[in-house]
Amino acid sequence: MPLPSRQAISTARQRFFENGASPRGLVGETILASWRRCRAIGLAPDQRVHAEPPGQLSLRELRERNEALLHLCRPELDLLYADARTSDSIVILASPDSTILEANGSTGFLDKAARVALRPGVSWREDLIGTNAIGTALHEGRAVEVRGGEHYFGDHRVLSCSASPILDGCGHPIGLLDISSASSVHHAHALGIVQLAVEQIERRLLEREAAGRDVIRLHHDAALLDTSREGILVFEDERLIAANRHALQMLGLDWSELGRRRYHDLFESARPPSHLVVPLRSRGGEAFHARRQSAAHARAHARTSASIALPTHRAPTTQGSTAFFNGAEDEQLTRGARLLNADIPVLLQGETGTGKEVWARELHRRSRRAGRAFVAINCAALPESLIEAELFGYQSGAFTGARRNGAPGLLREADGGVLFLDEIGDMPLALQGRLLRVLQEREVHPLGSSRPVKVDFAIITATLRPLEADVAAGRFRADLYYRIAAFCLALPPLRERDDRGGLVGWIWQQLGAESRGISLAPQALELLMDYAWPGNIRQLASTLKALVTLAERNTLVMPDDLPEFLRRPCHAAFASHPARPQEVPCLQAIARDAMQAALDACQGNVSEAARRLGVSRSTLYRRLERKEDKPVQARRRDVRTPLT
């Protein structure tokens, strides 16, 4: 069924809620079934949802209870967060009881979502919040999309949400992944992106659950073995005890048959020899390619893996220094980690999108504090009126609206671990002095309290601002600058990295493109490598994710499949002569370049170019004929004359 229009949803709501009639055909059966469940338990569509935000202590306890889930999902979360920040959306991880554990992404939309209780610590169970992607997907046990007015409560019509439960090898939900945005800017591919990320999480989880047991991997296409699309069956004493969704779908089984089916109930062929890819025929006559990992080998592999295991709180998106970091950067990270171990602050400086938080998490992973908390704070995103209370905490009754039991504050949340202060240059001057005192005395004074609280954390700061210039201009305290800038790491912009091809390949692999048989043509890869990428790694990752999402399986991505900005003839020149961060082109130059691009695209047709630029033809002629805009010229008598 195609997605219903806003008008169809509005009509469906009127029929169902006002007239008591069935709106079948106007909304999907999943939405309609959820509406009926909500009405049956007495929820009113116009009631207001009041969800008291939990205190910092409660949030901390919630995260500790779900630490294993957070760690399991971290690689996908970090990649999705980077994309969400540039697409006016947020990524949500929820526990099996529908409580939001983590929400990150666009700071602007985070604020809007919080107004309707879409924030950490709040339960979005369907019987409490009505029809919504989180609660309804967990109730249904499958991926669900809920747009605008499809939400049961009227307050939630501003949301468009796509969610999929994360299932273990027995079909039990262990959590849920969701992408939410404003209903006015619904992302058509959000559900597919969520499902792809969940597939990767579930595969990693099942491989852990299968340790020490017989595992059979199968697929109709041998090339898709050992990818996230393969079927995985786990046997113990020849009895099927776990599987993934792909395997069950291939064999026409459901979760209830786990524990009851034996190997020879499923297959005509004998069990495959260990590690060889061989044909395998099911009882239904379907032919597969299969490979078996024996229990004995699995136990040996588990022992070997345990002896070289990385620390629990590693930064999964980096997968070691060979993937995200080149040799020189790896050396910088090693030095930075040694300084953190000595409690010497590290300052990361780089343009937006260069991966400052990825660097910070890798420093944390390599430090002696890897097993403790990593608390990231975006100083530019915290409301100035609340930043002091959020950072330093407060006692009960410290100010109007304070929580009854107070709050410990984010600095105390980092106790024992690493505190990451992003966009430190945007911290108000008054708070810079308080932060300096904390760093010097290693104690925090919560608002409303006369008793300091001891804290112990290493600190990493980051900025894209020229802090030395801000110090000279009086916008940043010199004493704080010298305290946090004991060691500076300059993060190179993507255009200056000589390993762009390897980085493209690594991100492409992380997105699961290879598992779906999607490859980049050499010409397309060349265009990706040549582009200047003003948004750096974040922009590159978002672009590659869009390509993977839009591509069909087993296809080759050609140059014509790339976004238009990558195919413009001028992109190579920009890459060869990138503008320095401090250089700002004049408005006349920007206007001239825009007119040139428009006329090139329209083959010199001034009327068409003016229409695309959103100006009148006379305005475009006037700008073309101005002396200060030379050498851009056009003759009024010949509207098809290209610019010289």
Global confidence as pTM: 0.50
Query: What is the DSSP pairing of strand 418-422 with strand 374-378?
Result: parallel
DSSP conformation letters of 330-398: HHHHHHHHHHHHTT--EEEE--TTS-HHHHHHHHHHHSTTTTS-EEEEETTTS-TTTHHHHHH-B-TTS
How would you classify residue 98: left for phi > 0, otherwise alpha for psi between -120 and 50, otherwise beta? left
Residue 191 belongs to a domain: yes
Most confident of 57-66, 291-300, 441-450, 605-614: 57-66
Residue 637 belongs to a domain: no
Which domain, by its residues, includes 257?
210-305
Most confident of 295-309, 432-446, 610-624: 432-446
pLDDT of residue 546: 86
* pLDDT of 149 higher than 80: yes
The domain that contains 563 carries what CATH number?
A: 1.10.8.60
Residue 357 belongs to a domain: yes
Residue 40 belongs to a domain: no
Query: What is the DSSP pairing of strand 418-422 with strand 214-219?
Result: unpaired
Domain boundary among 474, 490, 506: 490
401 and 263 within one domain: no
144 and 243 within one domain: no
Residue 50 belongs to a domain: no
Across the range 617-628, mean pLDDT stands at 56
Residue 220 belongs to a domain: yes
pLDDT of residue 439: 84
Across the range 40-63, mean pLDDT stands at 81
How would you classify residue 152: left for phi > 0, otherwise alpha for psi between -120 and 50, otherwise beta? alpha
pLDDT digits (tens, 9 = 90+) for 130-144: 999 999 999 999 999
The DSSP code for 239 is E
515 and 474 within one domain: no
- Cα(360)–Cα(336) distance, integer angstroms: 10
pLDDT digits (tens, 9 = 90+) for 361-415: 999 988 888 878 888 888 776 655 556 666 777 655 444 444 445 566 778 788 8
Q: Are 136 and 146 in contact (CB under 8 A)?
A: yes
* pLDDT of 111 higher than 90: no
* pLDDT of 121 higher than 80: yes
546 and 522 within one domain: yes
Domain boundary among 427, 460, 490: 490
Taking each helix axis from N to C terminus, what angle separates 536-550 and 500-510, rounded to the nearest 10 degrees?
Answer: 50
339 and 464 within one domain: yes
Across the range 588-599, mean pLDDT stands at 63
- Cα(136)–Cα(257) distance, integer angstroms: 24
435 and 384 within one domain: yes
Across the range 37-47, mean pLDDT stands at 92
147 and 82 within one domain: yes
Sequence-ordered alpha helix ranges (H) in 473-577:
478-484, 500-510, 522-530, 536-550, 564-567, 571-576
Band the pLDDT of 606: cuts 50, 70, 90: confident
- Cα(266)–Cα(264) distance, integer angstroms: 5
Q: Are 177 and 79 in contact (CB under 8 A)?
A: no
- Cα(533)–Cα(538) distance, integer angstroms: 9
pLDDT digits (tens, 9 = 90+) for 172-205: 999 999 999 998 876 778 888 899 899 989 998 9
Query: What is the DSSP pairing of strand 287-293 with strand 278-281?
Result: antiparallel
pLDDT of residue 398: 46
Question: Strands (DSSP E) along 424-505, which ranges?
Answer: 443-444, 453-454, 458-463, 488-490
Residue 525, Cβ neighbours under 10 Å: how many? 18
Residue 30 belongs to a domain: no
pLDDT of residue 2: 60
Domain boundary among 206, 225, 241: 206
Question: Strands (DSSP E) along 255-359, which ranges?
Answer: 278-281, 287-293, 346-349
pLDDT of residue 88: 87
Residue 279's SS3 state is strand
117 and 67 within one domain: yes
275 and 158 within one domain: no
The residues facing 279 across adjacent strands are 289
Most confident of 45-54, 65-74, 158-167, 577-586: 158-167
The domain that contains 138 carries what CATH number?
A: 3.30.450.40
Domains identified in the chain, total number: 5
What's the mean pLDDT when you consider all of the chain?
79
Across the range 480-503, mean pLDDT stands at 86
- Cα(446)–Cα(451) distance, integer angstroms: 8
pLDDT of residue 395: 57
Q: Which stretch of DSSP H or E encloses residue 91?
A: strand 89-94
The domain that contains 486 carries what CATH number?
A: 3.40.50.300
- Residue 242: what are its φ and ψ, rounded to 5°? -160, 160
594 and 486 within one domain: no
214 and 200 within one domain: no
* pLDDT of 466 higher than 80: yes
Residue 421 belongs to a domain: yes
Across the range 548-555, mean pLDDT stands at 86
242 and 299 within one domain: yes
pLDDT of residue 601: 66
